[in-house]
Amino acid sequence: MNVVVLGGTKGMGRAMARALAARGDRLFLLGRDAEDLARSAADLESRSNLEDRPGTARCDLEDASSFAPALDAAAEALGRLDAVVVTAGMFGPQEELEADSERTARLLAVNFTQTVLFCEEARRRLLAQGGGKLCVFSSVAGERGRKPVVLYGASKAGLSAYLEGLDHKFRADGLETICVKPGFVKTGMTAGLDPPPFAGEPEQVASQVLKALDRGSPVVYAPPMWALVMMVIRRLPRFVMRKIGF
């Protein structure tokens, strides 16, 4: 497969890129730091039997004017785009966001508006070539309004709703939309937070998401245990949610 990855230099995106490269998929990396991208492309080349070092292009979720040129560069390098994977995103602890409107505005914009605008650029290109896969990392935090993730969770709830609508509208036209809902995964994003009992590792999530990408599953909870956890959380009455700290 020819795969574009936005966010492939860190955390779950890096694990996804490594897993894709290991099985011989051709990659193109998008991100906001040119040095980081070059280092990651060299790392991927050294770990796999890739014929070419993955190409790279600047794409900053805070700068919508970077989206179209980045995807054009990927299409020029790879030819057909079989899949576009978006793992890039921002997190902030609830208390810190409550105290910092500017950071909150950035997080809401990056995780929702700008990610949706990037996906729209990808959607147009994938549909124009007859279809493809769009795999985007949202979060279990978007499933229900919850005290520890009021703001981050709201940004991901919007993203999940967009991805579900996209899947309903365009699957018949060949666009397979895959919404990944990780629970707690040990990456730079969660460094310093206390891991809960079912905390996952990025490599474990990547291998699960890869299977879902191949199958075109519309929703993936990762690690899988989070599907059960969220099934319970979705059913809890509001008065219970108001009492508990989850």
The answer to whether 100 and 21 have CB atoms below 8 angstroms apart is no
Which residues touch 89 (CB under 8 Å, ≥6 apart)?
7, 110, 111, 115, 137, 139, 189
The site that binds ligand NAP (CB under 6 A) totals a number of residues, namely 28
CA distance readout (Å), 124 to 62, 118, 175: 20, 10, 10
- CB 119, CB 138: distance < 8 Å: no
Catalytic residue (one of 152, 162, 221, 226): 152
Residue with tokens 């990651």: 40
| Strands across the sheet containing 83-86 | 55-58, 26-31, 2-6, 83-86, 132-137, 175-182, 219-222
Look up residue 114 and give its DSSP letter: I
Residues from 155 through 184 that contact ligand NAP (CB under 6 A):
182, 184
Can 221 be counted among the known catalytic residues?
Answer: no
Tell me which of 94, 113, 190, 217 binds ligand NAP, using CB under 6 A: 190
Residues from 98 through 127 that contact ligand NAP (CB under 6 A): 110
C-beta of 128 vs 231, nearer to ligand NAP:
231
At residue 221, φ and ψ (nearest 5 deg) are: -90, 130
- Pull the structure tokens for residue 39: 């280092």
As measured in angstroms, the least distance from the Cβ of 9 to ligand NAP is 5
> Shortest approach of ligand NAP to residue 123 CB, angstroms?
18
Rounded to a whole number of angstroms, the minimum distance from the CB of residue 213 to ligand NAP is 15
Which one, 81 or 222, has the nearer CB to ligand NAP? 222
24 binds ligand NAP (CB under 6 A): no
What minimum distance in Å lies between the beta carbon of 55 and ligand NAP? 17
| Least distance CB 151 / ligand NAP (angstroms) | 12
CA 143 distance to own-chain centroid:
16
Question: Using CB under 6 A, which of 2, 56, 87, 104 touches ligand NAP?
Answer: 87
List interacting residues with ligand NAP (CB under 6 A): 7, 9-13, 31-33, 36, 60-62, 87-91, 110, 137, 139, 182, 184-185, 187-190
Residues annotated as part of the active site = 152
